[in-house]
C-alpha cells in the first residue's frame, strides 16, 4: 500500500499499556495529547509519514503528462487530480505533526532516504494510457486500503483518511474513463491501453505489501488498529474487483494462471515478483533516483522562497506593531 | 528521528483552519497547514480545504495561540454533568393528554 513494510515497534506491558489497549479494543479514538506507548507513537509517525511522502512523490509520475494531455479538458482534470495529491500529502503531514515531529524534519527524512514512499511511484509513466492505468489501478488499490483506515485508532489519522477517501473516488473514475476511451479507440490506442495494464498490473499488486506469511510487522499494528486488514486480504479484494473491470474494457490481465474459483467465489492469481518489490523498495527501481532528485531539487530551489516569505512576514508584523504604537 | 519537535529553524508556523459551509452552520475545524503569515494561511486554506465548494468563509488561527484542555482533566471537567439528568427534557414525564410539548 502507500505504507508498505512499516516497521512496527513492540510494546511493553503493564497497567498503562493494558488500559491503552482496552481503549483501542473499545473502539475509542486516541487523540494527540493522550498517553500512548512509545511503540505506537513511533510506528504511527513512520506509517503516516510514509503515506504522506507517497502522496507527494506520487505527483511526479502524473505531473509528467500534464503538459502533454491530449485535450484541454483532460489537462484540467489531471491538474485537479495532481493538486488533490498535494492536498492529501498535506492532510497526512499535519496528522503526523500532531505526534510532535516537525514538517521540515519529515521532509528531510524523505529527501535523504531515511524514510520511504510507496514502491509504485518508482515506475515510469511512458504513455498517456499510463494516466488511465494509474488512476484505475493505483488509486483503486489505494482506496482498498484507505477506506478501512477511516476507522483507524489515531484520531487525526482517521480524520485525514476521511477527507482523502471523499476525494479519491474521483481519481479512480477519471482513470477508468481514460482506459475506456483508449480501449474503445483505434487499434493503436487499444494496444497502448493493454500495454499500460501489462506494466502496471504486478506493481499494483505489490502495493499491498508482501504476503501475510512474510509480513512481520502486521500483528502488532493490527492490534493497535493502525492496520485493519491483512495484505493478502486486501490484495484478493482488489483482484476480485478489478478483473471484471478489465473484462469490461476488453483488456487481458497479464496472468495466465488467473481464473475464477467457483467454490470460493474468488479469483486465483499469480503472485508478483517479490524480488523486484524488495529491489524497488531498496532504491533500485527504474525511477527511484529520478524521483528523489526531483524532490531534492524542488526543496533546494524553493529554499530562498521559503526564507523570503518568512522574512517578509516578520517585517510586515514589525511594521504593523510600529504603526499600532 | 527525534520525537520532540525541534525549534524549527525557519519553518513556517502552523495554522489551524476553520471553515463555514454553505448552510448557515458555524465554522468547523477542518485541519491545519503551514504559512508564513495569516494572509498566506487564508490563501493556502482556500487551495487545500475548499477545492470542492466546501465553504464560504475561512478562519485561520496560529496553532501556538490555542489553549487546549488537558486529557487528564477529563474527570473533574465533564463528570459532574453526568449526574444532572434533569438538564435534559426527557427527564420530565408529561402525560400524553397534554399534547406535544
Q: Are A93 and A52 in contact (CB under 8 A)?
A: yes
In this prediction, residue A56 carries a pLDDT of 97
Q: How confident is the model at residue A93 (pLDDT cuts 50, 70, 90)?
A: very high
Query: Looking at residue A5, what DSSP letter applies?
Result: S
What average pLDDT score do residues A51-69 get?
96
Residues in chain A: 325
CA A269 – CA B12 distance, rounded (Å):
48
* Closest residue, chain A, to B14 (C-alpha): A94
> Binning pLDDT at 50, 70 and 90, where does residue B24 land?
confident
Task: Give just the sign of the alpha carbon dihedral A95, A101, A105, A109.
Answer: negative
User: If we measure between CA atoms, which residue out of B99, B14, B27 comes closest to residue B61?
Assistant: B14
Own/partner contacts of A289-296, CB < 8 Å, gap of 24 or more, are: A291/A57, A291/A60, A291/A117, A291/A121, A291/A122, A292/A111, A292/A113, A294/A60, A295/A56, A295/A57, A295/A60, A295/A110, A295/A111, A296/A111
Question: Which chain A residues are closer than 8 Å to B71 by Cβ?
Answer: 31, 33-35
Contact flag B3-A102 (C-beta cutoff 8 Å): no
pLDDT at A201: 98
Looking at CA atoms only, how far is residue B3 from chain A in angstroms? Answer: 6
pLDDT given for residue A212 in this prediction: 85
Distance from CA of B33 to the nearest CA of A (A): 7
Residues of chain B contacting A35 with CB distance shorter than 8 Å: 71
CB B43 within 8 A of CB B58: no
Which residues of chain B neighbour A163 with C-beta distances below 8 Å?
30-31
Residues with Cβ within 8 Å of residue A104, at least 6 apart in sequence: B8, B9, B11
The more confident residue out of B101 and A195 is A195
Mean pLDDT of A189-209: 97
pLDDT given at position B80: 86
Chain A residues closer than 8 Å to B51 by CB: 80, 83-84, 87, 167
Kindly indicate the confidence band of residue B9, based on its pLDDT and cuts at 50, 70 and 90.
low
**Using CA atoms, how far apart are residues A34 and A290, in angstroms rounded to an integer?**
40
Q: Mean pLDDT of all residues in chain B?
A: 87
- Mean per-residue pLDDT, A103-111: 95
Q: What percent of chain A has pLDDT over 70?
A: 98
Phi and psi at residue B48, to the nearest 5°: -85, -35
Q: What average pLDDT is seen over chain A?
A: 94
pLDDT at A39 exceeding the cut of 90: yes
pLDDT of residue A10: 66
Q: Record the cell numbers describing residue A76, joined without a space.
A: 484540467
Q: Across residues A221-246, what is the average pLDDT?
A: 96
The pLDDT, as a whole number, for residue B72 is: 80
- Residues in A whose CB is inside 8 Å of some CB of B read 31, 33-35, 41-42, 45, 80, 83-84, 87, 90-91, 94, 97, 100-105, 109, 114, 159-160, 163, 167, 306-307, 309-310, 312-313, 316-317
Contact A104 B51 (CB under 8 A): no
Kindly identify which residue of chain B lies nearest to residue A81, measuring between CA atoms. B51
Question: Are B1 and A103 within 8 A, CB to CB?
Answer: no
The average pLDDT across B19-46 equals 93
Contact A118, A58 (CB under 8 A): yes
- Listed in order, strand segments (DSSP E) in B1-101 are 14-20, 28-34, 57-62
Q: Which residue has the higher pLDDT, A166 or A201?
A: A201
Q: Can you state the angle between helices A155-183 and A38-57, rounded to 10 degrees?
A: 30
Cell of A182: 483508449
Whether A307 and B52 lie within 8 Å, measured CB to CB? no
C-alpha grid cell, residue B101: 410539548
Residue B4 has pLDDT above 90, yes or no: no
Residue B8 pLDDT more than 70?
A: no
Average pLDDT estimate for A208-214: 88
Q: How confident is the model at residue A217 (pLDDT cuts 50, 70, 90)?
A: confident
What pLDDT shows up at residue A122? 97
- The more confident residue out of A185 and A213 is A185
8 A C-beta contact, residue A18 and residue A200:
no
User: Average pLDDT, stretch A82-88?
Assistant: 96
The ipTM assigned to this model is 0.85
Q: A84 and B51 in contact by Cβ < 8 A?
A: yes
This prediction's pTM: 0.90
Residue in chain B nearest A104 by alpha carbon = B11
CA distance A157 to A174: 26
Alpha-carbon gap, residue A243 to A251, rounded angstroms: 9
Query: How far apart are the CA of A167 and the nearest CA of chain B, in angstroms?
Result: 9
- The residue to which cell 512576514 is assigned: A313
Domain boundaries, chain B: 6-98
Helix (H) or strand (E) holding A259: strand A259-261
What cell numbers appear for B65 in the block?
495561540
For residue A47, pLDDT beyond 80: yes
Which three three-digit cell numbers place residue A44? 504511527
Integer Cα distance of B14 and A103 in angstroms: 10
**Does the pLDDT of residue A18 top 50, yes or no?**
yes
Predicted confidence (pLDDT) at residue A171 exceeds the cutoff of 80: yes
Backbone angles phi, psi at A173, to 5 degrees: -65, -40
Nearest residue, CB atoms, A102 vs list B5, B31, B51: B5
User: A33 to chain B: nearest residue by CA?
Assistant: B71
Q: What is the reported pLDDT for B2? A: 39
Q: Please, what is the end-to-end C-alpha distance for chain B in angstroms?
A: 60
Cβ contact, residue pair A105, B6, below 8 Å: yes
Residues of B in contact with A80 (CB under 8 A): 51
Q: What is the pLDDT of residues A267-316, one digit of tens each?
A: 999 999 999 999 999 999 999 999 999 999 999 999 999 999 999 999 99
CATH fold label, B6-98: Ubiquitin-like (UB roll) (3.10.20)
β-pairing verdict for B28-34 and B14-20:
antiparallel
How far apart are the C-alpha atoms of A182 and A249, rounded to whole Å? 9
Amino acid at each position: 500500500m502507500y505504507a508498505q513494510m512499516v516497521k512496527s515497534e513492540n510494546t511493553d506491558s503493564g497497567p498503562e499499556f493494558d488500559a491503552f489497549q482496552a481503549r483501542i479494543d473499545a473502539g475509542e479514538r486516541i487523540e494527540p495529547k493522550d498517553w500512548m506507548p512509545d511503540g505506537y507513537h513511533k510506528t504511527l509517525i513512520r506509517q503516516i509519514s510514509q503515506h504522506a511522502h507517497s502522496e507527494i512523490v506520487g505527483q511526479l509520475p502524473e505531473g509528467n503528462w500534464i503538459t502533454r494531455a491530449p485535450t484541454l479538458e483532460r489537462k484540467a482534470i489531471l491538474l485537479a487530480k495532481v493538486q488533490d495529491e498535494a492536498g492529501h500529502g498535506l492532510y497526512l503531514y499535519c496528522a503526523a505533526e500532531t505526534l510532535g515531529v516537525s514538517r521540515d524534519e519529515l521532509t528531510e527524512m524523505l529527501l535523504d532516504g531515511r524514510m520511504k514512499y510507496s514502491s509504485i511511484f518508482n515506475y515510469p509513466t511512458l504513455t498517456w494510457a499510463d494516466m488511465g492505468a494509474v488512476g484505475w489501478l493505483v488509486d483503486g488499490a489505494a482506496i482498498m486500503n484507505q477506506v478501512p483506515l477511516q476507522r483507524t485508532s489515531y484520531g487525526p489519522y482517521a480524520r485525514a483518511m476521511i477527507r482523502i477517501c471523499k476525494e479519491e473516488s474521483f481519481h479512480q473514475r477519471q482513470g477508468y474513463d481514460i482506459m475506456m476511451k483508449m480501449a474503445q479507440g483505434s487499434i493503436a490506442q487499444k494496444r497502448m491501453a493493454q500495454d499500460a495494464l501489462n506494466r502496471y498490473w504486478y506493481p499494483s499488486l505489490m502495493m499491498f505489501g508482501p504476503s501475510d506469511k512474510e509480513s512481520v510487522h502486521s500483528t502488532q499494528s493490527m492490534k493497535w488498529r493502525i492496520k485493519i486488514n491483512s495484505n493478502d486480504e486486501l490484495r484478493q479484494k482488489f483482484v476480485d474487483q478489478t478483473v471484471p473491470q478489465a473484462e469490461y474494457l476488453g483488456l487481458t490481465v497479464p496472468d495466465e494462471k488467473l481464473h475464477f474459483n467457483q467454490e470460493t467465489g474468488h479469483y486465483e492469481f499469480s503472485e508478483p515478483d517479490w524480488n523486484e518489490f524488495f529491489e524497488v523498495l531498496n532504491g533500485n527501481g527504474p525511477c527511484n533516483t529520478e524521483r528523489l532528485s526531483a524532490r531534492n531539487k524542488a526543496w533546494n530551489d524553493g529554499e530562498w522562497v521559503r526564507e523570503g516569505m518568512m522574512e517578509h512576514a516578520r517585517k510586515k508584523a514589525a511594521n504593523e506593531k510600529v504603526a499600532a504604537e | 528521528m527525534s520525537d520532540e519537535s525541534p525549534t524549527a529553524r525557519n519553518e513556517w508556523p502552523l495554522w489551524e483552519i476553520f471553515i463555514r459551509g454553505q448552510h448557515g452552520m458555524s465554522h468547523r475545524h477542518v485541519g491545519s497547514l503551514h504559512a508564513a503569515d495569516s494572509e498566506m494561511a487564508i490563501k493556502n486554506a482556500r487551495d487545500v480545504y475548499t477545492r470542492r465548494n466546501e465553504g464560504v468563509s475561512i478562519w485561520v488561527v496560529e496553532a501556538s495561540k490555542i489553549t487546549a484542555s488537558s486529557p487528564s482533566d477529563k474527570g473533574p471537567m465533564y463528570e459532574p454533568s453526568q449526574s444532572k439528568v434533569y438538564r435534559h427534557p426527557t427527564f420530565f414525564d408529561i402525560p400524553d393528554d397534554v399534547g406535544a410539548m
